[in-house]
Structures are given as C-alpha cells and as structure tokens.
Structure 1
Amino acid sequence: MSDLSLERLVNATLLVPFPGAAAPRWVLEGLERGVSGVTLFAINGNVPGAGELAALTARMRQVADPLVAIDEEGGDVTRLAHETGSPYPGSAALGALDDPAVTRRVHRSLGAELRGAGVNFDFAPSADVNTADDNPIIGTRAFGSDPELVARHITAAVSGLQEAGIVACAKHFPGHGATSQDSHLEVPTVDVDLPLLERREMVPFRAAIAAGVQSVMTAHIRVPALTGAAPATFSSAAIDGLLRGTLGYEGVVVTDALDMRAASGAMGIPEAAVRALVAGADLLCLGSKEFEDSVHAIRERIMEAVREGRLSGDRLERSAERVAALRAWLAVPRTAEVDRAVGLEAARRAVRVTGSPAVSASPLVLELQAPSNIAVGPVPWGFSPWVPDTVPVDVATADPGELLARATGRPLVIVVRDAHRYAGHRALVSALVAARSDAVVVEMGLPVWRPGSSAYVATYGATRANARAAAEMIGLVGEESEAGGPITSSEAG
C-alpha cells in the first residue's frame, strides 16, 4: 500500500475539531485529502449563531462533503442553544411523559434545525439505562431507569432524527447508566455479569439497531466481564464481539472523545486512536482541543501502527467502506419541518406536581447553584428569563435566616437541580422548608429526593422549555407559545 493510499485511509477515520467560527486552512486541506469530517464544539466558538454556523458548514462543503458532527441532545446537553438553554426538553422529561410519538416529533424537529444549519451527524440519543441515582454524567440525559421504556424512546428518537436526514448515534455502548464516575475524569467500572448486561443495557441498543441507527458511540468504561481491564473503546470483545457479532450491528462505530481521561489519560491520544481502531472503531472523535499539530501526530501514529503490523490495512479499508455507506445514506434526500412548539408542549406535559404549587404575586425565587458536568457545560438554566430578580444562592455561604427574612410576607419558591447529589443543598432546603412549609420546591434534575414541603414540582430537566413549563405551572408567567425560528446562540432570553 502506498503512503498516499494509507494516508487517505487513515484520514477517513478522523473527525477533527478546530477553533473559531471559520474552518482554518489546515481543516479545509485535510477535507480535500480525505478527512471524514469535523466535530463542532460550542466551547471552541464553532457555534456563534445559526447564520454563522450555516456559513461555516457551507464553506466546508465547497471543498468536500464532510461529516459535520455535533453533540446536540436537545436537553441539558445542547450546543446550538448553549447561550440560552434548549427549547426542547431532554430525554428524562420525554421518558417521564412516555409518549413515543412526542419523542419522535421532538427529535424530528431538532433534526430539521440541525439540517438547516448544515449539520448532518448528531451524537445523540443516549441509550443508557440510568440505574445509578448518583450517576454524575448521565442522569437526565437518559430516558429513564427501565430498559423497555428507554428502548421505546430510543426507537422514537432515532427515527425522528433520521427522518430529518441526520445520522443518529446511539450512545454510550455498552451502557454508561450504572456508573458512579465521570469518564471525562477517570475510568468508570460497571461490574455486572453478562446476563444482566444483556437484559438491561443491551435492550435499548438492540432497539436502536432494529430502528436502523446509522452509528453507535463507544463508552470509555470498563465492564470486567466483557472488556477485562480495558475500556470498551479499546475492547474488540465489546465492539467486534458483542456489538457486531451478538447484536449484529453493521454500521459505523464512533468513539467518544479521545481526549477524555478514561481514554487517553495514561497513554496519550495518538496511542488511544490506534487502540480504538484495532478494537474495531471506524471513526475517531478526537476531542475539542486536538488541532493541527495534534491531528498530524495522531495520523502519523496510526500510519506507523499499520507499518508495524499492529493495525491491518484491511481493518482500515472496512472502516472506509462503512463510512462510504454512511455518506450514501446521507445522499438520499429527506426533509422535515421545524416544530418548535412541540418542545414546550412536551415539557408542559412532563411536569409532575405534588400539592398546590401556584403562588401569588411577588414571590421570592431562590435558585441553589449546582455545578454542571463536563458534558453539559456552562448552559444557563432556571427562572431568570421570566423572573429577573431571581436570587442565585451559593449554598456554601448561604444563611438560612437571612434568606427566610427576605421571604417575609412573600411566597417562597426554591429551585434545585439534582439535590439528591449534594448534601449541602438538601440541608439548606430542609432548613428553609422547616420554617416555611408553604414553600414551593422545584427540582430541575432527577426527582430522587424531596423535602417535606407542601408543594413540589419536578421538571426532569433544566432546559429553557422545562423552566418555562414550571414557571407557568407555578404562576410566575402566563402560558404562551415559544415556537419560533431556528435555534441561535444569540437568541434573546
């Protein structure tokens, strides 16, 4: 095999990142030399607004026909609406509603928005079964903890996205829902036997495959009974054995970002890339900061592995064939209309209420500030778009007495996010509710823990749509439509 042919095969495995709102020359030249595509990151400034994003993707298509990938789950994890919060509720809310037709509509509309911006590959939906309450990385990103429910909605989400002409990606194989560690920071372990993995984690992935999902993303997690000491991304038993063999999946396998510590922390990204390809991956999501020099080093290491016999050229050729088949699928015309109204409709129907949460005029709204995980990022959440004087509360320094004094003579609304994961948040809420049993508590994460308040509202997510639905339920804002044009990060609150 000539060096030029080998380079093109290696390039076909790469999804590269870049900084800014315009593709730099090295990216355009790489696309001309067979680089499969790019991954867009809001933190890189790739998504400043719908118009700019469309111009960016159009420029790349002047030199090639790239895969343009993004991590847009339409819930708490949003890139298109990273400055405002998504107008679509996420998976947990859709699972709580449990209307697959609505899940399909949400994802078809989201797909139409992506397609309009020139994106054709979405790293969504999550097929994880979230069985660990303290899961720091999945949580509201999963449709739920019941495998059959997750399977119903995976089928609907995959169908909706792909009806809009977007490559859907079932993730995180073989299932990240039973972990209590974040794979961005360490290697999580799911210590279950294979029969349990089959009857729990595999149920949604089987459903996604049956629905014709065009890609599956590997997780950087250990399942000792399946992968031994290695993460699934580097395990041929997981990819070639379970996914392709037992489950019969024939499409594209893409890695989760290789810059995550669970993947490359001990070896570096170039070596991680080689090991993922040896295990059976077809496309490499490199991460957010692997620019020109890093891409060159990764390419050289993969080519060296082929020359040394660690990685076969046949393996790369099979991956190139799968990627070519994916491009052929994308070439078939598909259309869908943006249906922004379905987002608020679904969020309203997903709200679950205990007691009578309606409040009179001039309530005091306290929002307990909760950290976002790395996947979510710094996306705004809460009631401030509709209650401008909402009070952000730093739990570490908060004085319950002072907060209660501010609420004297006023209704009290306490907004939390995954309170079950933070002892300090639970302690503060309990102290406030002990003095004000009439307080309304709004949980915008998973409603695992609840205090003894007389009124409790669970939204199953912290998107803009979830917040609006809860604000209406409490009476902080009247019911209005939020339907509108395409998502843009410059959209006003």
Structure 2
Amino acid sequence: MIMDRQTSWVEATLSGMDEAHRVGQMLGIGFQGPEAPAEVRRWVAGGLAGSVILFAHNIASPAQVADLTADLQSLSPIPLLFLIDQEGGIVTRLQDPATVMPGQMALGATSSPQSAHRAATILAREMRALGIHVDLAPVLDIQSDAAKAVMGIRSFGETAEMVRDFGLAALAAYEQHGILACVKHFPGKGDSNLDSHLYLPTIPHSRERMAQMELVPFKAAIDAGAGMVMTSHVLFPAYDAELPATLSPRVLQGLLRRELGFQGLVATDALEMKAIADHFPAGRSGVLAALAGADLLLVPHGLDRQQEIYSAVLAALRSGELPRRSVEESVRRILAAKWRYAVAADELYGPRPPLEVVGCPEHRQVAGELATASITLLRDEAGLVPLRLPAEARLAVIDFSLPRFSLVEEARRTAQSLHSQVQARHPHTSLVSLTPQPGAEGRAQALAAAGEADVLLLFTRNADQYPEQSSLVQALLETGRPAAVVAMRNPFDLLAFPKAPTYLAAYGDASVTIGAVVRALFGEAPISGHLPVSLPGLYPRGHGLRSA
C-alpha cells in the first residue's frame, strides 16, 4: 500500500513537470549566509532547484536553521531535500549548541560498531528536528596506508571489514530515525595521496584489489538497502583511464548500477572541487555527470556556476545529447527519496522530534561517553598518565594548530579551549600556541617555555606531514622534561618521533574530544581506546593500553 502511494505521488509529480523543472530537480545548490538570497529564493519558488545543501556559514542557531528550512519549503512547489555533511569530528556543519560527535576514526577506536549506531541515532534525531533530510555520511573510504592519510580521521579504520561493520551500524541508525544516509566516496578513495578539493588523484589498483578492499563496504551497504551513494572525484584506471568516477559511465553505470545492483540515488561530490573544475568547464562537468549516471548534481557554491550547470544540462536534454529517459529515471529516484523522507516521513518514521532535542543534555552525555571511549594510550614508559602534579609544578602546554587543515573542514580555534581546560585542573599552566609549521621565533618560544617548565603537554596535529613540527617536538623531548604527546588529528604522528615516551591518540579536536582527552590526562576518566589503524614498525591495529 505504501509503495503504491509512493509510486502514484512520484508519477503524478513527474508528469506535471516540463523539461526545465525536471532538470531543476537534479540540481543541489548552496548559498552564503544564514538567509537565502533573492536569486536562490526565486529558483526555489520556480521549482528550479530540487535540493539545498547547508554549511556552517548558513547556521546561526537551531531555531534559525529550522526557520530557514521551513521558509524555503514553503516557497517550493515540490518538496525540497535538505542535505548536510554531518560526519562528526572535523566535518561537522551543525556546531554547538547542537551535539558535536567525535569523528569516525574516534568511533572506530572504541572497537564497537554500536558506537557508530549511537552517534548516528543522535545526529539523525537532531537533523530531522531541524528539517534536514539527508546526511552526507557515513564515509566508507578505508584508511589503509599510513603514508596516504588524506582521508585520515574521517575514516573508521584500515580494514574493509571494520569500515563495513561501522558503516552498516551507522546506516541502520539513520534509516531507523528517518534520515537518508549517503555513503561516500564511491568506489573508495581512502588510498589517495591527493586531496580532490585541490587535485585530481589517481588510484591505480586492479579490479581484483578493489573487489577485495575498497568495494567491500559499499557492496555491503548496497546489499543492506543504502538509498544514496556519493561519487568520488578520482581516476580509477582499472575502470576508466580518462574520466574520474563522478563523470564515468563505466564506474557509475557499469560498476555501481550493473555489477553491484545499486538502485538508489547517485549524488556527485561538489562539482566546483578542483579535481573537476580544473579539468572540465562547469557546464560540461554537469552534463558529463548526468550522462555518466549521476542523479543529483551538487553545486554548493557560486551562483554563476550553478546557473551554468543548470543551463548546460537543460540544453543537453533539449538537444538529445542527454536522453530524456535517463533524466526521467533520475527525477523518479529523487522524487522517491522526497516522498519517503519529506512527504511521508511522519507516517513512516514517527513525528518529527521537537527542536528541544538539539544539543539536549542526554545527547551531549552520549557524545562525551563516545569521545572518552575513543582516547587511546599507546605508550607510557614513565607512568606519566594520569598526571599527578604537585601544586607548585610548572606545566607547559604547547599546541600546534590551525583554524582548519583542509577545505572540507569548518574553521575553529582550539588552543584556548585546551589551555583553559588544563589550567582549570592545574592553575600553574602556560600556553604556547604555534602553527603546524613553526618558524624560528615559534621554535625559540616553545623551547624557552620548556626550559621553565617541569612537565610538558605537546598537542600535535599531523606532525608526520610537517617536518618543522616533528623537528621541534623531537627537540622538546630531548630537553629531558617529562612529556606527554597527544596526537589531536591523525594517529600517525608517532612515526615522526617514535621514541616519545608517553603518547596518546585523540583522533580529532572537536570540543567534545578536547574535553575527553583532558579528562583522560588527569585521570578523571578511564582510558580504553584501541588503534583502528596500524603504525608501521611500532604498533598493530588494536593496540591500546588501559588506565583506571
């Protein structure tokens, strides 16, 4: 009965659209600021944009987001899909006062796929309360090589089975609570050594290797009923030596649709990323993606680019280059998702949660528990953790940070939060805040602070990628001061200074993780995390010391 009603609604809605509106349904747009500009409002009111993707710059408060989604929905003649990247950790668009979850590798460090289910349950409840329908998560890319850490802490871990199990747990929770999860980045870009926001990567693996590794989590998700897949802007010569996956019929139609049997919605990654934009004109990239088999063309930024892609796809449809049947099938899939997650959501998943669930104490408690369970102690030769400092001891916090390390992240500042939380527990604490690539002045400042301190806390970020940082950390360790090193991003930092006597991994520097790592350092919470990746030559996946 429900499927009959869905089909009837989809077909009736589709039949009422002309070519312009059908192409509009394939377009996912974004805009700057907390209010939709006039041009976006005109597009929505005219039925020429089918989906809207939200970023942190669109968000001022939970109430404002709920009002924004309701306002745009009221303008649109066809229900909109609202999308967001809410992976947790470093890719978190809904910040405080919403509940901020640890990232995927932190969840992997808990060793329990149930952690992914708990996190996704809370994210789903809060998104639905705000009028958001799609989470562009979970990430199913595998962090299989310590030397290629572009995905890094956005991944659950280093094995196909681990990523599969955690991904399936998240997927089930999203569906249970009425959010369409979008698994990404097909067919798997965890082994890339380049960021597709800036470059066009190539992953040269054979089809046999892909089947045994990268494709395993995606196949499992598809078999479990995943409704949406996001493509990767990566070349896979084993399938197509000329076109990246997003633009490749061999990947999207041949591999994804025919070989793996996926029948759901295919979304592109953002088409303005340099992996695409530096190699294909904007309009042409949209046409090629549609020809390849993409249903939803995501163009989050740039009104001119959005208009160019829309016009090019419409022209390709009218000229016959883009088959009418292909567009109709894409729009049917989009409308089916809209019916399930927007039109009939209350009937299928229960009433929309009230706005008060966003950032509620119960949700924050779960986030804190998950962050605490992720903190991993790899080594503590001198028994420094937990810190038991005399009141007069001088503690120096030396923090290497940036507002953001990649274009996928939202800018944030963490050094003051770290310092204030440490100082609240040990008032005789100083702070040296440096960039990941400190110059001579910063190096001198850090060494001077170490010379005046009795104990050092060194908070590193991707030190294996920044020689200046790893050199300074090594010099600080050589001062002979008792020191604990905490990797606040990728856990591979220890490879840069393998003799560090005390070393912890936190897998992110979101506020919830900063609180968890400080509690762990001062013995306020047990340490029980395990490495979800291996550190070649040092520790295998699964290593982790426990502290009471």
TM-score (norm 1): 0.91
Structure 2: tracts of 5 or more residues without a match: 1-13, 424-429, 527-548
User: Alpha-carbon deviations, 1:214-239, whole Å to 9, x = none?
Assistant: 21000000000112221000001111
The amino acid that maps onto 1:60 is L
User: Alpha-carbon deviations, 1:359-415, whole Å to 9, x = none?
Assistant: 325521110125511111313335145247532123123555542332324321000
Aligned to 2:385: 357
Match status 1:164 vs 2:197: no
Aligned to 1:456: 503
Structure ID, larger Rg: 2
What is the number of equivalent residue pairs in this alignment?
474
Q: Residues of 2 paired with 1:8 and 1:402: CA distance?
A: 60
Aligned to 1:468: 515
RMSD: 2.4
Match of 1:368 among 400, 416, 423: 400
SS at match of 1:267: coil
Shift of 1:259: 0.3
Match status 1:346 vs 2:359: no
> Is the 2:232–2:245 contact (alpha carbons within 8 Å) kept by the matching residues of 1?
yes
The 1:385–1:13 alpha-carbon spacing in structure 2 relative to 1, beyond 3 Å, is farther
> Is the 2:62–2:98 contact (alpha carbons within 8 Å) kept by the matching residues of 1?
no
SS at match of 1:39: strand
Match of 1:63 among 75, 78, 88: 75
Q: Residues of 1 paired with 2:152 and 2:45: CA distance?
A: 40
User: Alpha-carbon deviations, 1:19-49, whole Å to 9, x = none?
Assistant: 221223332332233321111122xx31122
Ranked by relative contact order (alpha carbons within 8 Å, sequence separation 6 or more), the top structure is 1
Match of 1:149 among 158, 162, 167: 162
Q: How does 1:84-95 map to 2 (within 5 A)?
A: 87-95=100-108
The 1:457–1:261 alpha-carbon spacing in structure 2 relative to 1, beyond 3 Å, is same
Match of 1:421 among 457, 465, 482: 465
The 1:211–1:464 alpha-carbon spacing in structure 2 relative to 1, beyond 3 Å, is farther
The 1:300–1:37 alpha-carbon spacing in structure 2 relative to 1, beyond 3 Å, is same
Q: Residues of 1 paired with 2:17 and 2:224: CA distance?
A: 38
The amino acid that maps onto 1:365 is V
User: Alpha-carbon deviations, 1:93-127, whole Å to 9, x = none?
Assistant: 11121211121011110111111222111111100
Shift of 1:85: 10
Aligned to 1:484: none
Shift of 1:197: 0.5
SS at match of 1:225: coil
Shift of 1:309: 2.3
Aligned to 1:489: none
The amino acid that maps onto 1:55 is D
The amino acid that maps onto 1:358 is P
Aligned to 2:36: 23
Question: How many percent of aligned residue pairs carry the same amino acid?
Answer: 31
Q: How does 1:31-430 map to 2 (within 5 A)?
A: 31-34=44-47, 35-42=49-56, 45-64=57-76, 65-81=79-95, 87-135=100-148, 137-288=150-301, 290-291=302-303, 293-330=304-341, 331-333=344-346, 334=349, 339-353=363-377, 354-355=379-380, 356-359=384-387, 360=389, 361=391, 362-370=394-402, 372-382=405-415, 383-384=418-419, 386-387=421-422, 390-394=431-435, 395-398=438-441, 400=443, 402-407=445-450, 408-430=452-474
User: Which region of structure 1 is more displaced relative to structure 2, 327-336 or 109-118?
Assistant: 327-336
User: Alpha-carbon deviations, 1:121-149, whole Å to 9, x = none?
Assistant: 11111000112324453110000110000
TM-score (norm 2): 0.82
Q: Residues of 1 paired with 2:15 and 2:317: CA distance?
A: 12
> Is the 1:126–1:170 contact (alpha carbons within 8 Å) kept by the matching residues of 2?
yes
> Is the 2:317–2:323 contact (alpha carbons within 8 Å) kept by the matching residues of 1?
yes
Q: Residues of 2 paired with 1:84 and 1:397: CA distance?
A: 39
Q: Residues of 2 paired with 1:475 and 1:117: CA distance?
A: 37
> Is the 2:28–2:50 contact (alpha carbons within 8 Å) kept by the matching residues of 1?
yes
Shift of 1:4: 6.8
Q: Residues of 2 paired with 1:342 and 1:436: CA distance?
A: 39
Aligned to 2:545: none
Deviation >6 Å, runs of 4+ = 1-4, 83-86
